[in-house]
Structure 1
Amino acid sequence: MNDIIIIGGGIVGLATALQIKRQRPGLSVTVIEKENRLAAHQTGHNSGVIHSGLYYKPGSLKATNCIRGYWMLLEFCEQENVPYELCGKIVVATKPEEVPLLDNLYQRGQQNGLEGLKKLTLSEMHEIEPHVRGVEGMWVPQTGIIDYVQVCEKYAEKLRELGGEIRLGEKVTQITPGNTLSVVVTDRATYETKLVINCAGLYSDKIAQLTQRQEIDVRIIPFRGEYFKIRPEKEYLVRNLIYPVPDPNFPFLGVHFTRMVHGGVEAGPNAVLAFQREGYRKSDINLKEMYETLSWPGFQKVAAKYWETGLGEMYRSFSKSAFTKALQELIPEIQENDLMEGGSGVRAQACDRTGGLLDDFAILETDRAIHICNAPSPAATSSLSIGLTVSEKALARF
């Protein structure tokens, strides 16, 4: 019998397990992951950015957890010798009409407690990134780069040292809540537990649905982000990180340039609807999952509202020249043949029945379970803080 079972071996599930064992070593905690390795999906496919907390609404779960989690992550990496680099980034307004949005970001960053933010003229931007183009910019010194798979492996190592268990290659197929215990059935074993914590990412809504009879009001909509890599001989065009001013109506940051902690520079991502929850290629289609997405009333409302933006993202997905054009807004010198095929990731974007794309982290509690139903970026940066938030909710029950 387990005190707590955590479903999902990504960065949030592992951080939550670690925080529980740190605070209450005597509780038995088991992490169940359906893949044969940790960090196989969202965690292992992101761009490895340590986010500063610039973008998020002051007081929101994203803002408070990102800022607290940022410092917790850096402290953890220092203690455990996980390599990272605080290289800073610039956010660029490429058109005059984006300057007020940049001003709003600057004010938001200050409200969130970021220090050292600096407005930049074009000549000041060129001192940091000589090849960038724009009308005005902002320097964000706190932003960094890291390998989140390495972070996860270290979380797992510390968790096992504290007596936590990790079961790989087990897919949860059934959860039956009882009066005092829940029964969790996988394709390999059956477990009894006092509490289920759902950190299943792209399948968090499915796991949540297993614990209750009535249909839940949130559906995960998978968005694929596709990246290009810059050819080594053109990597000099990007020194560190270069971001556009994001569209405030859309929960994505726009195509940007990211220097990677192990070398190389990524460009992207776009944000296109994936026709499979773990659909990392354009050809990946799961008809059942695609139908579930397209038939969700909330998605239909999103599609009606953002169809022009969505078509633009799809066009860039299939047209390298269109993708290049978007990148040229930031660096005019970049050319189509400077870009090589890169990786991709799928973001679990929660969407409610009314068509709201959930922007903040969302935690749903029931009698026998805690569900993390929305944990998009900056969840990796925030992982130890989210883990602490969830562990406090969990430990209040013991």
Structure 2
Amino acid sequence: MTTTFRDVIDTLGDAGGGTPAGFRIEVRDRHDGSAEIDLVRDIGYDRDGRSRPTPLLFSVDSVNPRDIAPWSNLVANMTCNPGIVYDLFLNDPTKNVNREYKTIDEVIGEVARILGPGCDVSVELHNPYETDFSVILEEVARYESILGRHRLVVKVPHTGPIGPSTYPSLLEGDGRFPLRYDQGHPRDYLRGHQLAYDLQERGYRVNFTLMFEPHQTPLALQARPYFINAFLRNRLGATRRMRGLIAAWDASGDEAFLVQLRSWMIGNDFLAPGDEDLDLIKVLSMAMSHLRQRQAPSGLDDGLDAARQSLRWLAGSNLPDSRLILCSMEGDDMFPDITRMLTEPEFVSLHHRVLITTDPVYLSRWTSSPQVVSYQRRFMKAAATQPV
């Protein structure tokens, strides 16, 4: 047995004597002809080396213990970012009742206890623009002390055109960044990639996040991430908004629709604050360029073109253990559209490369249908009239 095998059993094993969930047993031949038994982290496995019921795995975007608890035996990953931690839980008195939890450390510890050893926990860096890498390592080490090395996944974001000297602008006034998203410097664009690479080199698994366009995927894969992401809701909403305003302009010739388009693009960071007077034809051309990158197959408008392209890049990569997280979804169509997409012949064999994640309340609704209510009404009434 390897030292890793012993460490896993010592830290995550239980009195039952079996191997903990979240690991697969791997037997390797040594040079001397003997066999070496190891435990390799793999969230596709349950206790005692049993495969999870399906290669497709599920995850939850939440740190609310009450919402997560019902999912404890069903999910393979929990992912969070500062918005989820603070805006949606710690600082929300309707969720964090009576301020039961005071710090991110407390809530991550509780969530980890609920989810058990078979579930990874992805925790995002609070400040990826920190110039002292030792400070980032201290933050990661703190999470590791709570979760252990085997369960921790460090969530590193794409940093875009933002850098250590410019990120304070996001915290001042209206938070608008002075440059367009595509007017930065390579050192800033690649800061997230370098962080991901440096952490991976130190043995940490990395969840590379803030991926909205499929062309981000082949570049993100260069940092050898454990997870990559495809954000779906935002991209679909932007596509429909731009398409709608352009269609209105085409039909009417009214430049007011292009003015609206320009304002919307500024408000959603496609353009910079200084672009208030940008020529409307230029605005139209830029919007059309974005739409050309959002072509769905066979006229479908399911917003999953980024997911399809990212899966193709992942399938062609040399990273067999990396997975794609499909995240950020809402509405009545997106989850069913994802499950339909994953039954397309091209993607059936890639189920083991996919996690579906969203907040547990949204995810839970898809266990139901109208007929569940109808039939339960019938059955409960029948049971209530059984002979005494």
**TM-score normalised by structure 2 residue count:** 0.26
Structure with the bigger percentage of strand: 1
Question: Highest relative contact order (Cα 8 Å, sep 6+), 1 or 2?
Answer: 1
**TM-score normalised by structure 1 residue count:** 0.25
